[in-house]
Amino acid sequence: MKVGNLYVVALLFLKELSTGSTQLAPLPCTLEGDFSLLTCAEDIPEHLTGSQRPRNAITWFKKHEKNGWVKLNPESQSRIVVNEKNLEFWPAEVNDTGDYLCVIGNDTRDATNSPLFFNVTRRIPEYCFNTLCALESSETEGISTAIVCGSAEAFPNIVSRTWYKGCDYYAKDTLRLQFNNLHKADSGKYSCVATIIHQGKMYNYTKTIELQVTDPVEMGKPDILGDSITTETTEIGMTLIINCTGYLGPYDNTLSISFYWLKINTTNADDVDFCNRCTEETQEWPCETESWMSVLGGSKFISQQLKFQSVKEVDLEYTYVCKLDNPIENKMKSFILIKKVQAQDIPTHSFTTGIVLAIVLPLLFLFLLIGCLLFRIELVLFYRRATNKDETKADGKEYDAYVSYRKDSPGDDEAEKKFALEILAHTLEEHFGYKLCIFERDFMPGGTIAEDTNSFIDKSRRLIIVLSPNYTLDNSMYELESGLYKSLVEKQFKVILIEYNIDDNYTFMPESLDLLKSSAKVKWKGDKSLPNNSGFWKRMQYLMPAKPIKSKSSARFIPNKGGNNGNIVVFSAMKKYVNIEE
């Protein structure tokens, strides 16, 4: 074990209070944006008055990393003010954190005081008030005590005081919180926010006190408050303050009590050292201690802080022991520093896999979406066949579609008529099993054309219009207008528009057809559209009502290359109204 002198606490003050109010040490830190001050311990001789008082009696210095001690010039920055022995900050900022020194005169060589560490910490809104700036106050259950916000002498321009317990409003406009007959429920963090007016502006002064109400301690038996072993979670580089409070009771011989810190190597129990006060010259300790005495309810308490201005890795190798040596019984309390667990890095292979999946899955989804859009017709037809879907059951309709085409062909131009009666009708009825209504074939003598046309259209599930440049010259316009009215207005059925031999000139088309959706239009492309598996027939099936395919024949159309009229040879059921040329 290393040999060293025990650190004997110099009692800073013992002041009995008739009110029993809590006297606490200066704040361990200041919240950014708050008013704060440092008080110089130098005493200016009282007999020096007027011209005899040293010019600029108190001079303040701040230590910089590169330039050492630098004299403060408050006249050039009104935010920091020298007021006799006080160095005031209106308000304090985070970059004000550091060591300050006050001397008589303006030369640091004459300094006899120890530097004052001024710590300004950032606010943490979710915690309401930063717990690093909280002072600990341990009280015994059943006594009466008070917590003081700030003396009227120190802050003469206070306009309001508001107390909070935790994050909740507690009291207002009171200098102290009086507790008579303390209970365990009174434990908690009490924060006083005092509003001060300075040079026409309002500033806050925040003081947080953590009140711990403990069980009554056996009188006359010194002890250290709290658990014997405490863990402190910290991060490398952060500021850490550890508080330790000892109970002395009514014991009067305080000079025979030693209250000090030890550090013990966790891997080598013989490696023990005393923690006094660190200096930059020795670099022996990354900490400093501060002690004070309190008189609460007739009993004495001694408190001490161990300060780490910047926690290092080597600091985690030690256990820090707060020890109270006294003639009755020695007491110890151990503090173990635990490094805050950082989120583990993702393994390289997992990270790579995640990146690949993050790229591949959206691409697969995009390709799938594009495929569904490009092959939506094939997918719909496949679904109909797989499920044997039938939309024609019990709808009261007799025909799957009514075919409207140009019936009066001038001269020998009967291509449109043959397309409607032979190619279209044969394929839809004989190959795909649909039932079409064709006026020339299904008209029964005895009725009027208009009445029969409306009747046929009403009995059909679709209206197929074979639109050509000459369509509007025929009397089939009545079928078009009647069908569009029933489709667009009465919503009885859908319209399928077949564009037959139409080039890019659409000026001949009736304006009413512009109301049809483009998805209901199919373009006939001649021989390219003839095969039953062509895109034309797939789209026709897609637009026709869904029903099981009941093919009556596997015949297909074969253009007659030797005929004068270009007739199309048709096999099977269409012989009853189509002449077949040998």
Q: What amino acid positions are annotated as catalytic residues?
A: 479
Site of tokens 């863990």: 231
Token readout for 538 is 């797939």
**What DSSP letter does each residue of 368-435 carry, written as one string?**
HHHHHHHTHHHHHHHHHHHHT--S-TTS--SBSEEEE------TT--HHHHIIIIIIHHIIIIIT---
Closest among 113, 111, 75, 81 to 96, alpha carbons compared: 81
- List, in order, residues 6 or more apart from 74 with CB less than 8 Å away: 60, 80, 81, 82
C-alpha gyration radius of the chain: 49
Q: Give the helix, strand, coil percentages of the chain, each rounded to 5.
A: 25, 30, 45
Distance CA 503, CA 500 (A): 9
Distance CA 51, CA 65 (A): 37
Task: Give yes or no for a contact between 323 and 263, defined as CB atoms under 8 angstroms apart.
Answer: no
* AA letter at 492: Q
Closest among 66, 62, 125 to 95, alpha carbons compared: 62
Distance from chain centroid for Cα 370: 32
Summary count for the chain: helices (H), strands (E): 8, 32
- Cα end-to-end span (Å), the chain: 124
Task: Give yes or no for a contact between 143 and 186, defined as CB atoms under 8 angstroms apart.
Answer: no
